[in-house]
Structure 1
Amino acid sequence: MNISQEHIIELIQEYQQGRISEEGFQKLQKWLKEDEANADEFAQYLALFKESGALSNLDQIQKEDAWLNISKSLSKPEKKSKVRRLHTWLPYAAAVVVLFTVGYFMIEQVRTDYDFGKDYNFAEISSIGSKKAVLTLENGQKVNLEENDKELITEADGTLIQKNADSELIYDNASSAKDRVIYNQIEIPRGGEYSLVLADGTKVWLNSESSLRYPVQFVGNKRKVELTGEAYFEVSHNPDMPFIIASHDTEIKVLGTSFNVSAYHDEEHISTTLVEGSVELSCLGNKELLKPGFQATVKKGDNRFKVERVNTNLYTSWKDGVFRYKDQSLEEICHQLSRWYNVEFFFTDHRYREYRFTGAAKKNKSLNFTLEMIEKMADVQFAIKDDKIIVGKPE
């Protein structure tokens, strides 16, 4: 049964709200029965929502028999779908799935020159992100990959660069000269994302406002690339030629594995989240070996790693079209949204920055939906002034 991660989130939300249809209920049961891995994925979402306090009956649900407990906890569906409208904002839930829990903070009065009562269209000053990037060749020539559809590019050493059926950039160096190393750099603007397959078969997903510098073919005893921003790597295994990612003061050394690296120039920390395999991190003379399911964070200019077990889906789902949050501040969420929707946020009071949220949102939907959800679940509102989104609250 082919069902997307986004649709799973929708079904879980509909179930939690008591508004799941008979068709949706049967679809969820069927999907859970098909594979134990599906039940595991479903349980991860339930655990996430449990921690947020958004679900009250999760103690009854266990991973090994999730589908059975669901059928027990729900009343028998009637022939006709019955939808219970809990709030007037529920129609938005099908488009954006956001279950937010909010921390409680004292709120000070804010400035009065922002009209929070107006019905704004945030789509007018933002745009949904898409696949776009600029490739810089060895000779400095820049190629707009959004405009350049299937055109074949030949590098100075004979390496062929083109797009595959999935619009990924791929490198073919079968006929290239191996007497020197030349580099390409791919840059992802705000509101963009892109993926490519390097010459060794390593696949890289690049997030908004990110760049990767890499050789068009790997020679010698190592494969080294330079990253700014965020990327997810699936490294092709080669024990004789380790893969190294350099970012600021940190290097990540791998043989073959899957992991996420976040190293934005405007953020003070570098985070590496390991999905499978193993990686060795080094920073200013200090080293750390990371295991699957763990994340290592280091402050720029420091060499002390903070290592903790995490739900890796929270840090990798962006490449699959979903933003997931767990006890994340509104400031961090707005920072992520600003990159994807290419818009700026301004907070009228620092306390709004510290609101905490747990939930999930689809990347392919308008910013209007996400912001309206936040407004309904939190004591905060959004306005527009001078092409910026203002975060605050009327007096």
Structure 2
Amino acid sequence: MKESLNALFVKYLEDNCSEAEIKNLLEHFKIPQNEELLKHFILTELEQQDELDFPLVDVEERLHAIYNRVQIHARGAGAQHKGFFKMRWYRVAAAAAIFILFGAGLFLFNQKQNSDGLRLAMVKNNIKPGYNQAVLTLANGSKINLSNLVAGQVAKQLGASITKTANGQIIYQATANVPENGERVGYNTIEAPAGGQWQVILPDKSHVWLNALSSITYPTAFIGNERRVQLKGEAYFEVAHNAAMPFKVSSRNQTVEVLGTHFDIMAYDNEPLIKTTLLEGSVKVSNSGKVQMLKPGQQAQVGGSDIKMTSDVDLEDVVAWKNGYFKFNENLEAIMSKIARWYDVSVVYQSKPNPDYTFAGEISRERDLSEILKIMEYTGKVHFSIEGRRIIVNK
């Protein structure tokens, strides 16, 4: 495998790869087990280069200089990319960018400190990533901090027993006392704060993943002719099929109706659009009297009274948060909004960022904040400082 990857890597550096081969190469180097192999390839190529006007003694400085010159993965509006990779050392820089932005995190090459040439960047004011934490508010108003509980039964309510699993899920199990149609049921709320996330399996066995700064309100038992929940923020749903009882999600002024399917809703109050993205099945999106049906791979964007449909959506990007990583291909403010929610920080801009200037790449959400910010600084287009839980953004 090493030989075939090396051949493909060399072909990439010589600008002879097809789009399919480049995609294949990227997929290989997104696998954590292949990180050491890619580091070896990049260091080997860097050592063979004679075009930069400083010695090979400090590989870290070489890598920094390459980033300042190439500014790969941070593209300005109207930038000209034709012929961008004609010179071989540009291809090496692109390879380094693949490792840093598509691998497992930020690493700086430094021959002086570690025998393998690798050093993890550290900063003085560091902020740890978010983790599994949430608060359950029962129908009677009592609150339970779920992250502090050991696995086992959390509470009993009419129609259900609430249990926390060892991996941090909340599961509702129906009891013999399920309310009959017309009987009064209570409503519970699970809220994941900034810097938190949680999973819940609802009374109908539907599975919900809550992103940071999000909450879901739902009945203790689903009765009647529908299953309705209220969402604030973002959640990914895998809805249990029940043709006789449609599942409905209300968020702001939008309602999404399904029978059984997989979809994501992003409905943060500070975001201009509500985005509903369908991965499997079909859903109906309603807003201000307008209705649209989604097919897999489509996204409905609700703003005001309008519903805009688009198929130009990266499904991996949409559900990256659920799968434990960030995937960016957007402007600085959009990226910093995601970072602020997950790391529970505020963001202050010294000047308004150019909305047409984008950053692309992906990295684990388990990385410390400083590592992500340092990656973005390598483009030479932005600088950050951390004061407490506040990020200062400079040009």
Fold in common (TM above 0.5): yes
- Supply the AA of the counterpart residue of 1:230: E
**Structure 1 pair 338/129, CA: closer, same or farther in 2 (3 Å)?**
same
**Structure 1 pair 352/308, CA: closer, same or farther in 2 (3 Å)?**
same
Q: Which moved more, 1:163-172 or 1:136-145?
A: 163-172
Which residue does 1:41 correspond to in 2?
A: none
Larger Rg: 2
**Structure 1 pair 123/165, CA: closer, same or farther in 2 (3 Å)?**
farther
Which residue does 2:244 correspond to in 1?
A: 240
1:61 partner SS: helix
* C-alpha separation in 1, matches of 2:14 and 2:246: 45
Shift of residue 55 of structure 1?
11
Which residue does 2:276 correspond to in 1?
A: 272
Which residue does 1:154 correspond to in 2?
A: 155
CA contact (8 A) 1:99 1:360 kept: no
**Structure 1 pair 385/228, CA: closer, same or farther in 2 (3 Å)?**
same
Which residue does 2:44 correspond to in 1?
A: 84
Residues 226-285 of structure 1 deviation map (CA, whole Å, 9 limit, x = unaligned): 000000000001111110000111000001100100000111210001101000000010
CA contact (8 A) 2:160 2:203 kept: no
Shift of residue 159 of structure 1?
1.6
- Supply the AA of the counterpart residue of 2:73: F
* C-alpha separation in 1, matches of 2:14 and 2:317: 19
Shift of residue 58 of structure 1?
4.9
Which residue does 2:131 correspond to in 1?
A: 130
TM-score (norm. length: structure 1): 0.72
**Count of equivalent residues:** 316
Residues 125-160 of structure 1 deviation map (CA, whole Å, 9 limit, x = unaligned): 633100000000011000000101224133331521
CA contact (8 A) 1:322 1:362 kept: yes
Residues 72-101 of structure 1 deviation map (CA, whole Å, 9 limit, x = unaligned): xxxxxx9x955337562879xxxxxx9733
Deviation beyond 2 Å, 4+ runs, structure 1: 21-26, 54-63, 80-91, 98-102, 120-127, 153-156, 174-177, 303-309, 351-355, 384-387
CA contact (8 A) 2:324 2:366 kept: yes
Q: Is structure 2 residue 18 aligned with structure 1 residue 59?
A: yes
Q: Which moved more, 1:344-353 or 1:277-286?
A: 344-353
Q: How does 1:1-395 map to 2 (within 5 A)?
A: 22=2, 25=5, 58-61=17-20, 66=24, 83-84=43-44, 86=46, 88=60, 100-103=73-76, 124=125, 126-178=127-179, 179-299=183-303, 301-326=304-329, 328-352=330-354, 354-385=356-387, 387-393=389-395
**Structure 1 pair 358/239, CA: closer, same or farther in 2 (3 Å)?**
same
**Structure 1 pair 346/105, CA: closer, same or farther in 2 (3 Å)?**
farther
Which residue does 1:10 correspond to in 2?
A: none
* C-alpha separation in 1, matches of 2:207 and 2:321: 16
Which residue does 1:74 correspond to in 2?
A: none
Q: Which has the higher contact order (CA 8 A, sep 6+)?
A: 1
Shift of residue 122 of structure 1?
5.8
- Supply the AA of the counterpart residue of 1:235: V
CA contact (8 A) 2:186 2:220 kept: yes
* C-alpha separation in 2, matches of 1:202 and 1:227: 14
TM-score (norm. length: structure 2): 0.72
**Structure 1 pair 66/333, CA: closer, same or farther in 2 (3 Å)?**
closer
* C-alpha separation in 1, matches of 2:312 and 2:381: 32
Shift of residue 360 of structure 1?
0.6
Q: Which moved more, 1:329-338 or 1:54-63?
A: 54-63
CA contact (8 A) 1:131 1:192 kept: yes
Residues 197-227 of structure 1 deviation map (CA, whole Å, 9 limit, x = unaligned): 0011100000000010001211111100000
1:152 partner SS: strand
1:292 partner SS: coil
1:351 partner SS: coil
- Supply the AA of the counterpart residue of 2:209: W
